[in-house]
Amino acid sequence: LTIDVRGNFGGRPDMAKELLSYLIRQETPYFSKSTQLPFLYKIQGIGNSILPKEDAFKGEIRLLTDGGCFSTCAHFCAVFKENSLGIIQGENTGGGAACTDSSIDVILRNTGIRLHNSQSLYEVVADSSMRNVVSPDESLN
């Protein structure tokens, strides 16, 4: 199975967790305990560990990455690597196990400049070497 996430800027964490549930073989934590999830995420169970699906894929997996992998996509890559789910091929991701979001926009009154400001740090359970970037196991030639 080859999963190509190149150029994926991210998205919803529940979608990454859903895909991972078809790749893992045992219960797997997703967000680190230091992550302060918004209330809505908590009641939706997004902070819960991932449980494997009964019909999870059991074969060899290759994950294709590049510098366009950010946010939830980079989280997915970090969890994939942390749990040795397969071989990562390609380039370093643009993001890593930690990213910020829950952003708000503020328009500065005197200049009209829009300030986009992150409010929360989201970090998945992964080795600290993947905090800012996930490196591939192999490059693509």
Query: Are 76 and 19 spatial neighbours (Cβ–Cβ below 8 Å)?
Result: yes
Q: Which helix (H) or strand (E) holds 72?
A: helix 71-82
pLDDT given at position 109: 94
pLDDT given at position 37: 72
pLDDT given at position 45: 77
pLDDT given at position 63: 99
pLDDT in tens, 83-130: 999 999 999 999 999 988 778 899 999 999 999 888 778 889 999 999
Q: What is the pTM of this model?
A: 0.87
pLDDT in tens, 12-43: 899 999 999 999 999 999 998 877 777 767 77
Query: Are 47 and 106 spatial neighbours (Cβ–Cβ below 8 Å)?
Result: no
Q: Which domains does the chain have, with CATH numbers?
A: 2-126 (3.90.226.10)
